[in-house]
Amino acid sequence: MKISNVRLHAVGIPRHTGFVNKHVIVKLETDEGVTGIGEMSDFSHLPKYSIDLIDLSRTLNTLLVGRNPFDIEDINRELLDNFPEAMYYYEKGSFIRNGIDNALYDLCGKILGVSAAELLGGRVRSRMKVCYPIFRQRFMEEVESNMETVRERYGQGFDVFRLYVGKNTEADIELLKRIKSEFGSKVTIKSFDFSHLLDWKEALRTFKALVPYEVGLEMVESPAPRNDFKGLYNFRTRIDYPVSEHVWSSMQQSEMLKKDSVDIFNISPIFIGGLTAARKASALAENGRKSIVIGTTQELSIGTAAMAHLGCALPHLKFTSDPTGPKLYIGDVVKNGVQYEDGYLIAPDRNIAGLGVELDEELLEEYKVSDLGWGEVTVHQLQDRTSTK
């Protein structure tokens, strides 16, 4: 069996906040009629440039047509040569590699009649605990709308939340107070996520202001600028909570290990370039005696299904993870979206081959966009995922 064609479909799907995220759905077709699907998730990130899909399609067809889809490792090496790591969180080459790698696992699973988790080593659990994000507050007036989000999602079974912080500490404190007052111990905050906005000293001052009001805090995320390994170490050694950072390249992860910068590696296929690379990053974390969580850029159901298979195949996943993307969007492109139950992401049925989700061609057409262009989107909208300028 050989790969015969690579098809890319751009879609734009609004979040409940009004922000429209653009993704690319991948189809890997074969000469025997089996097709694997993948997702290049959320190209609506800084830096503010877009990918030319026609050019990308030509490039990927040149690289992949005629290849055996089971040559996953070799194909990943070639993809890495053509779309190299750049020590940057939102490197779009990683998004591209992730989409192709998703599709390879879906395709190979379908050919063998096994789920993607089996190709990743087999399941050790059937579900993983996840949190719902509360996006960064700029104004005190946003506290009430965020309380409404907590109430709504708590009613849907989510009892752990991730709070983006770093812009308005007074609003963050007020939100924490109100959550504790209304819910007590029934709701917890998984993390204070600084998203690299502050230097480590300012992040430490903000953390000290917030921590008296924490409710079940598991960790602090990204409390220093990107690739500031010493800053992460300085912050980490001054608090009594674990510190987490995303992994976006093998070199960056190695440097964090050398400098003992973090306690927890946040590993997401989209930022490291696919399931293959994420599995390697997880093994490196395990060898370095570090914990992991499964991170997210807030994928659709195809990308989220891939992360569910990954998370359910990793024995040292000990903390609450992040993939709740399908709950943030008003639509999707599959017939059978991933499922959540009591605050857990449920792994797709292991009796369904591949990633376990089926593409809906009508929805793919409904959400189709002509390109990945930006329009008039502002930096603030990009950072906080809102339609409000």
Q: What is the dihedral of CA 362, 364, 365, 370, to 10 degrees?
A: 180
The residues facing 193 across adjacent strands are 164, 221
Count other Cβ atoms within 10 Å, centred on residue 383.
Answer: 16
Which among 89, 132, 154, 164 is annotated as catalytic?
164
Strands 127-129 and 35-40: unpaired
**Sheet bearing 339-341, strands edge to edge:** 127-129, 344-346, 339-341
- What is the distance between the terminal CA atoms of the chain, rounded to a whole angstrom? 50
Which among 89, 90, 340, 344 is annotated as catalytic?
90
Question: Is 340 labeled as catalytic in the residue annotation?
Answer: no
Count other Cβ atoms within 10 Å, centred on residue 382.
Answer: 17
Question: Is 367 labeled as catalytic in the residue annotation?
Answer: no
Token pair in block for residue 387? 């339609």
Amino acid of residue 218: E
| Cα–Cα distance, 194 to 323 (Å, whole number) | 18
What is the gyration radius of the CA atoms in the chain, in angstroms? 20
Nearest to 230 by CA among 201, 205, 210, 250: 201
| Cα–Cα distance, 351 to 330 (Å, whole number) | 28
Count other Cβ atoms within 10 Å, centred on residue 147.
Answer: 17
Q: Which residues are catalytic?
A: 90, 164
